[in-house]
Structure 1
Amino acid sequence: MRPGEASGKWDMADEVESLADVCRQAGLACDGARLLRVHANAIYHLPRENAVARVRNAAAFERMRSAVQTAAWLADQGFPALRPLEVAQPVVVGAHLVTFWEYLPPLDGRQADVTHLAGLLRALHRHPLPPFPLPSIRPVGNTAADASASTVLSEGERSWLIARCAELEEGFVRLAPTLSQGIVHGDAHTNNLLPHPTHGWVLIDWDSVGVGPPEYDFMPIYLRPRRFGYPHSLWREFRTAYGFDPAGNSGLDLLAEIREVRSLSAFIRGAEHNPAARTELSNRLSSLMAGDHVRRWHAL
């Protein structure tokens, strides 16, 4: 995982009884554990294990079990996926769940670009399906459930978002049969690439992996010019490196709208403890509710 200082104090420690207990269950040492980041997950560096621990809600157990199993299988097949540790996982502690992954430090200041991402995605989308069941991707993920459980959304925001999720899910059901299917990462952007001494770059964060249309993985880059102020050439560079011709693909706009709504999920969870996440959640949600397709969004 990418190291970096956590922004703000991790104030959800009461939701995890003890990181030491979690590591003990997994047979790992947590001496010197350091919090790296808090957003949708809390991520700790475990220096004695050369590993990271990712903490999230226990409701994601089946999804995280699939993430661990798929990433391990892909890595064994030679695909550049971040490898989970070979321990029994996920580990459930109270209302939370923990997975353990190889730790990769940054190398010589390099940063991934969209051509690196395009190459990995092209290989992933052409990879044979695993010999175990892989769930279909969930277009808007946990967004509706997160909205239902949120204490930061107003009733009007909650109702609008839940209804919008249902509408987009129905649209995806109609669209999906017209597109090809394969292994889909589910959250494919350059921040989910890490430098690796052997592979060059590896894909991390397999929480949303499943079977679906490859175009679903294009959306983080497709939206960067529109929402984050990147040059429009970025999308052209990506699709050229991937070998994707958007001509005649009428589903891109729907997939973009799905991605925009899905992006709210992490901010809904993060807003419970992070003021910056709450501010950005308000910015994104109000723009969607107003039908504003060009307002600038900000990454955390």
Structure 2
Amino acid sequence: MNQSRQQAATAAEVLNRAAKLSNVDARGAITVRDGSHAIFELPDGIVARVGQPHSYRTAQRELRISQWLNKNGITTVEAVNSIPQPTLVDERPVTWWTLIPDHRPSTPEELGRMLRQLHALTPPIDFPLPAYAPFDGVREPVESATTITEADRAWLLEQYARLRQRYDELDEPSQRCVIHGDAWQGNLVVPPSGEPTVLDLDKVSVGWPEWDLIQLAVDHTDFHRITDDQYRSFVDAYGGYDVTRWPDYRVLADIQEFRWVAFALGRSDTRQSAATEAKHRIACLRGLVPKPWTWQAL
């Protein structure tokens, strides 16, 4: 059995053991995602989210964030209240959420409107939010990847150092606030009810609002995934602030794209598709592929 299958089996095993502990029916579980979290769709309209080892406090915080945001007028995925949470198996927390059926990704306008509302919130006082750390977990995949050349690794490490220095030299563009931390259209979904619903709460933190604006901005400037009109609708819905006009926009854009490369590298040793994609993304960063770029989702 190769390593990727072992990892998938481990997540499935954790799920099955957690389901028994929590009296949840996990028969016929369907894998929705096997990334930083393993996510499974279960019978009875439940979604199970299997966290990384030693992430119990993060899982607890996600549950509290969901409750807090819903109380403050921002609809999020809701935990299943009838199940004690999180369920801990082999130091991996499992959380149980209500399935959102038949949803679609949000439009840029819907995403901009939600972010404007989110960034206006006062941080919670009954539990702390961490400070957003854009370089967390970024260097390690570069150092450990076995599928890239030493020349690419050396360039990436040099680029990492350059980005750290450029970031440390920035003046704060705006006041820090509550941010989502991974604000793209797939993390704000719209079910048949029409109520945009926020997903993936593990990176909710306190940081520059620009970190929540950068992903869609990069989609527009570097990938052309959205049109000029769609991007303008995002800016207008957010309140008129266009992060691409900020003089230091490129610093955050380059960091965000480096993070996406590191994400691919983190999966490249066990997935050939990720290894191929990582090499392509590195070539893009190194200027060997002209923009607009096309990157495949992992």
Same fold? TM cut 0.5: yes
Q: Is contact 2:109–2:230 with CA below 8 Å preserved after alignment? A: no
How far residue 45 of structure 1 moved from its aligned partner, in angstroms, is 0.3
Find the counterpart in structure 2 of residue 232 from structure 1. Answer: 228
Identify the residue that residue 106 of structure 2 maps to in structure 1.
112
- Please say if 1:164 is aligned against 2:159: yes
The corresponding residue for 1:3 is none
The Cα of 1:140 is off from its aligned counterpart by 3.1
Q: Which of 140, 145, 149 lines up with 2:140 in the alignment?
A: 145
Quote the residue 1:298 is aligned against.
295
Q: Which amino acid letter does the alignment assign opposite residue 281 of structure 1?
A: A
Cα distance between partner residues in 1 of 2:84 and 2:150: 40
CA RMSD of aligned residues (A): 2.8
Q: Residues 14-53 of structure 1: matches in 2 within 5 Å?
A: 14-16=9-11, 17-48=13-44, 50-53=45-48
Between the aligned residues of both structures, percent identity stands at: 26
Query: Is the contact made by 1:227 and 1:297 (CA closer than 8 Å) also made in structure 2?
Result: no
Q: Is the 8 A contact 2:102 2:192 kept in 1?
A: no
Distance 1:192 1:23, change over 3 A: same
Which one of 175, 189, 194 corresponds to residue 189 of structure 2? 194
**Superposed counterparts of 1:1-300, under 5 Å:** 12-16=7-11, 17-48=13-44, 50-58=45-53, 60-86=55-81, 87-94=83-90, 96-107=92-103, 111-131=105-125, 132-175=127-170, 177-196=172-191, 200-230=195-225, 231-246=227-242, 249-290=246-287, 294-300=291-297
Tell me by how many angstroms 1:227 deviates: 3.3
CA contact 1:176–1:213 (8 Å) conserved in 2: no
Post-superposition shift, 1:295? 4.9
Partners in 2 of 1:209 and 1:234 — Cα distance?
A: 25
Contact 1:51 1:102 (8 Å CA) reproduced? yes
Instruction: Give ranges in structure 2 of 5+ residues lacking alignment.
Output: none
Deviates more, 1:37-46 or 1:177-186: 37-46
1:26–1:88: 8 Å Cα contact kept in structure 2? yes
TM-score, scaled relative to structure 2: 0.83
Deviation at 1:262, TM superposition (A): 1.4
Mapped contact 1:146–1:268 kept (Cα < 8 A): yes
Q: CA–CA distance in 2 between the matches of 1:174 and 1:64?
A: 33
What 5-or-longer segments of structure 1 have no aligned partner? Answer: 1-8
Distance 1:299 1:279 in 2: 10
- The number of residues matched between the two structures is 289
Displacement of 1:73 = 1.7
TM-score normalised to structure 1 length: 0.83
SS at match of 2:139: helix
Provide the C-alpha distance between the structure 1 equivalents of 2:145 and 2:88, rounded to a whole number of angstroms. 22
Higher mean C-alpha displacement, 123-132 vs 134-143: 134-143
The DSSP-based 3-state class of the residue aligned with 1:175 is: coil
Structure 1: distance between partners of 2:169 and 2:98: 39
* Offset of residue 252 of structure 1: 1.6
Distance 1:256 1:164, change over 3 A: same
Secondary structure of the 2:143 match is helix
Q: How far apart, CA to CA, are the structure 1 residues paired with 2:91 and 2:145?
A: 16
| Aligned equivalents of 1:184, 1:90: Cα separation in 2 | 23
